[in-house]
Structures are given as C-alpha cells and as structure tokens.
Amino acid sequence: MKCCVRAAALLLALLAAPAAAQPGVPTPLREVGFDQNLGGSVPLDARFSDEQGNEVELGRFFGERPVILSLVYYECPMLCSMALNGLVGSLRVLDESIGDEFEVVTVSFDPEETSALAAGKKQSYVASYAREGAADAWHFLTGEAESIRELTNAVGFRYVYDEQTAQFAHAAGIVLLTPEGKIARYFYGIEYPGRDLRLGLVEASEGRIGNVVDQVLLYCFQYNPETGSYAAVALNIVRLAAVLTIVGIALLLLVLRRGERRVRSQVSPTG
C-alpha cells in the first residue's frame, strides 16, 4: 500500500513540474502529463462506443451544458480508480447534480477495452454518486485508437504504455469543457476543491449557470494554469472591499439623513 501511495504521489508531482527537472524519474513517467490547450476544441465528430456498445459521436454530449472530461483506462490497477473515486467525492460536495447543470464524460484511452468494462464502471460509480438522473448524464466511453489519440491530443493528455509492467503510465486530472466543446479549465490530481470545481463550471458554462455570489468569487479568485486551481487575487479583493465600504457608508448616510428628517418633522411647531 505504501508503495502504491508513493507511486501515485510521483505521478501527480509530474503535473506540477517539467519532467526534465525531475532527475531520477523513470523514463516512461517523463513522457506523461497535461499540456494545457486552453481555448482549443475537442473533436466533436470523433466516434466512440457507449456503455451499451452503440457508436456515438463525442458531440452528442455537448450543446446544452458544460462537460467534465475524465480520461482513464478501466483496468488500471490503481490511479484511475483513485481518480474516479476522487471525482465522485468532489462532485458530491456540489449542490448542483450531474445532468442538471453539467455532464460528465469518462473515456478510456486503452483501445483494447470494451463496452462491457465501461458498463461495469458506470454502474459502480453512478451507484456511488447516488443522485437521481446521473445515469443519463455520466457517460463511459471506449473507442478505437485513432479517435482516442485525436481526443487526447486535443486536450494535451500525454501517456505511454510501459511494456515492462504491461500498464499505462499517465497523469491524473479532469478537463472542463464549454457546451460548444472548447477547453476551459484543467484540474490536476485526484481530488478537486468544491469551490474551484464550481467556479470552473460557472466559467465553462459561459454564464449559463451560477449566481451573483459566483460572479463575485470569480472576481476575487483567478485561475492559475500552472497549478490547475484558483488563487485569491489580492488587488481584486482590496478593490471589492473598498467598493463595499463605500456602498456601506452611503447606505449609512442615507439612513441617518432619513432619520434626521423624521425627527425634524416630529418636533416642528404646528400652527
């Protein structure tokens, strides 16, 4: 177990620093990671198979809501299960549910995997998520090598097959996509803070979801593409605090002035 945890930590560390700067990292792991292609598009015409074995175009899952894309392979012995478990845990924190405000598309990057494997994973994780409607909006896909490579290249997901271990070396993370299939945000690792995930979905929705509070938070927090997370912007927070202070003072003066007028009207002499 300790060995597995160390391996997972090593894989996640690759997302934060260039492989060349990490001496001692095994050669296969130097080839994995995410290259952020913010603003790029995923291939909506790429063809995959759904959990029931039906051929579908990727674009079928776009058009109305933002999409969370996760890339895994279903027979992964460790990291992919950790990533999917972490995604479920992060999604549970949100008030919004899969199918109401967003879709989730999980794609296997192993062209040898089957729809039967995808169906088993879907059943397990939809049951774990345990919210109504998730089965219709969380899609588990498999595909041919060409379609997989087209998608992974589009989102900058790099992975390699290690002949010695007969496993894929790959990174962990999710990609947030707009309803039109544009790449909006990347989140690294296997767990994602609820605030960051919500803000990312609000941005990816292009204003279609979220409220005034979310817009204020987006003003105060800025996405950092190097870390794949949101960080507080001190200057914006100071500006917002100044505006709120001015508004508060103005409201206080208004209340005091109205009170003063009321007192004057009550004490003014009558003929």
Alpha-carbon span 160 to 116, nearest angstrom: 24
Sign of CA dihedral 150, 196, 78, 131: negative
pLDDT at 247: 47
**Domains observed in the chain:** 2-204 (3.40.30.10)
pLDDT at 242: 44
Residue with structure tokens 């003066």? Answer: 253
Alpha-carbon span 43 to 147, nearest angstrom: 9
At 53-65, the pLDDT tens digits run 999 999 999 998 9
In the chain, which residues have pLDDT < 70?
Answer: 1-30, 207-271
107, 141 Cβ separation under 8 angstroms: yes
Take residue 144 and report the two structure tokens written for it.
């041919």
Alpha-carbon span 40 to 225, nearest angstrom: 14
pLDDT at 5: 40
pTM comes to 0.71
Contacts of 30 (CB under 8 A, 6+ apart): 14, 19, 20, 22
- Measured in degrees and rounded to the nearest 5, phi and psi for residue 71 equal -110, 120
Q: To 5 degrees, how large is the angle CA 20–CA 166–CA 29?
A: 10
176, 36 Cβ separation under 8 angstroms: no
Look at residue 111 and give its three-state secondary structure: coil
At 153-172, the pLDDT tens digits run 999 999 998 888 888 988 88
pLDDT at 197: 84
| Amino acid, res. 9 | A
pLDDT at 158: 92
The helix-helix angle for 234-267 and 212-220 (nearest 10°) equals 130
Q: Where are the alpha helices (DSSP H) in 130-182?
A: 145-155
